[in-house]
Amino acid sequence: MSDHPIFNDEHRAIRKTLHEFVIKELTPHADEWEENGEFPSSVFRRMGELGFLGIHYPEKYGGQGGDYLCGVILAEEMTHCLSGGLSMAVGVQTDMVCALLHKVGSESIKERFLRPALQGEKIGCLCITEPDAGSDVAGMRTSFVRDGDGYILNGQKTFITNGVRADFAIVVARARGSEGSKGIAIFIVERGTEGFTVSRKLEKVGMHSSDTAELAFQDCRVPEENLVGEEDQGFYYIMWELQPERLFAAVSSVAGAQIALDMTLKYVRERQQFGRPIGKFQAIRHRLAELATTIEAARQLTYYVAGLINAGEFPAKEISMAKLFATRTACQVADEALQFHGGYGYMMEFPIQRFWRDNRLARIGGGTDEIMLEIISRQMV
């Protein structure tokens, strides 16, 4: 909602520009890219050229110098491309990869990786999840050992968005023999590095236009200058990184839920049953009103938290609340929207089925519902 009080005239102008770009250059290709199972990497380059990838990053590194709310607007407007996979892939670049590089990367790393990433010249991926360690970051097994003026990595990562096409991977690993949150470090591994391979491209229920990979690191040598931040602080860096990632999921979920509701409102006004539009039936009207109310509640919570982040705060409890509530809302709205479409909602030619499939991932990625509840409850009792 561009008229919300957290947004100013500059924000509204940025939203208009972003919306026009998405509708003109991305949305018309959504079906094709979903069917192909991948969108072209030229999308990153185009968005970089237009300054969208760096919209809320400092001009010093090739960004546009906007505030955090500019990134919120980008996340919202990207949902209008009607391809959750594309929105997610861009979000990984802007709110996960670039966020971490900007937060803790050295000046050398910022010049070699952050700047070209913001310009869309290099695509990155963030490698945390492993086959046996998802939400339990401290339980990861990918290891590193010091070797002269560099490090040797060994391990495996999975469910990595942008992993197939990435020019570089940000890899979280632990010192061999370390346990828990101790000894964890973060490294940048460039494509073509010996011992770094894409094991396979994974097939998903939804998010079809996004490439998701399983990656392997076997005696993979990383130069010392590709260490991100301090060697023993990786766990804390990732705990920070998860905060903007989670709010990105919340913002995108609310925006997607609104689009799904708008599609449904249009459908129920046109679909005739028993001699009148189905939107005239009280049972449907009242349920739609409930969904609209839930979306609005999720939006207000999300905007409240976005305002806190824009002011320099990172309230883990409220961010977790926003992610939990917004992603659940998106799944609920998509499910009921499909129900209102009847048999047509289950057909591939109607985009509502894509929202239904794509939204489900948001309750898993970046921290599951159960993890969000644990974070919230720990700060309550």
Contact 290, 337 (CB under 8 A): no
Q: Which tokens hold the place of 149? A: 């003026």
**Which among 245, 247, 253, 365 has a CA at the least distance from the CA of 306?**
247
* Residue indicated by tokens 């003109």: 24
For 19-61, the DSSP string reads HHHIIIIIGGGHHHHHHHT---THHHHHHHHTT-TTTTS-GGG
Say if strands 184-190 and 168-175 run parallel, antiparallel, or are unpaired: antiparallel
Question: How many angstroms separate the CA atoms of 203 and 214, rounded?
Answer: 11
Contact 248, 206 (CB under 8 A): no
Packing angle, helices 234-270 and 84-92, rounded to 10: 160
**Which among 340, 293, 302, 357 has a CA at the least distance from the CA of 324?**
302
245 classed as catalytic? yes
Alpha helices in 55-200 (DSSP H): 68-78, 84-92, 98-104, 107-109, 115-118
Q: Which tokens hold the place of 226? A: 């590709």
Q: Which amino acid is at 2?
A: S
Q: Which amino acid is at 113?
A: F
Q: Which tokens hold the place of 217? A: 């690191």
Say if strands 168-175 and 150-161 run parallel, antiparallel, or are unpaired: unpaired
Question: How many angstroms separate the CA atoms of 242 and 82, rounded?
Answer: 25
Choose, from 130, 214, 245, 336, the residue flagged as catalytic: 245
In order of 2, 164, 208, 329, 365, the CA distances from 161 in angstroms are 30, 8, 11, 23, 10
Q: Which residues are catalytic?
A: 245
